């Protein structure tokens, strides 16, 4: 287990599942949750490769913060099939202030554990991470 800023530990599984997504594309997305009692980041949910952006959006709670990784497939202007790995910091306006502070203060440290993130998104409501936003960040 890696030691982290603000006393937050990162469960080994967090890194392992990310590496599987990156190398083998085993998952479409990963949702991470901070367990405030244990003071550590855990894997909460794994999205199957066939799942969509809609499935991903639906897996984030409306009023709680999360970190997430999404493997985004897109087609370039030259008609090439590509993918980019997004890191999403989900911090809805309705989340508890304390929770928002914990997620904000642990984010950079957690991101450093995941080598290969290509795009970062901060979202406080679903419109800030919809498909249009993803597309605008890769083209």
Domain map of the chain by residue range?
9-138
CA distance 1 to 103: 18
What mean pLDDT comes out for the span 120-129? 96
Please state the rounded mean pLDDT for residues 81-94.
97
Please choose, from the candidates 82, 91, 109, 78, the residue with its C-alpha nearest in 3D space to the C-alpha of residue 6.
Answer: 109
**pTM, entire model:** 0.93
pLDDT of res. 4 = 43
Class of domain 9-138: alpha beta
């Amino acid at each position: 287990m890696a030691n982290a800023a603000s006393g937050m530990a990162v469960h080994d599984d967090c890194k392992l599942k990310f590496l599987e997504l990156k190398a083998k594309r085993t998952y479409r997305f990963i949702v991470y949750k901070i367990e405030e009692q244990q003071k550590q980041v855990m894997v909460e949910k794994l999205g199957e490769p066939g799942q969509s952006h809609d499935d991903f959006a639906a897996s984030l709670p409306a009023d709680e913060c999360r970190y997430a990784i999404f493997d985004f497939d897109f087609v370039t202007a030259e008609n090439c099939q590509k993918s980019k790995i997004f890191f999403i910091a989900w911090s809805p306006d309705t989340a508890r202030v304390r929770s928002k502070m914990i997620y904000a203060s642990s984010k950079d440290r957690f991101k450093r554990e995941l080598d290969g993130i290509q795009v970062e998104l901060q979202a406080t409501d679903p419109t800030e991470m919809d498909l249009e936003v993803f597309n605008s960040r890769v083209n």
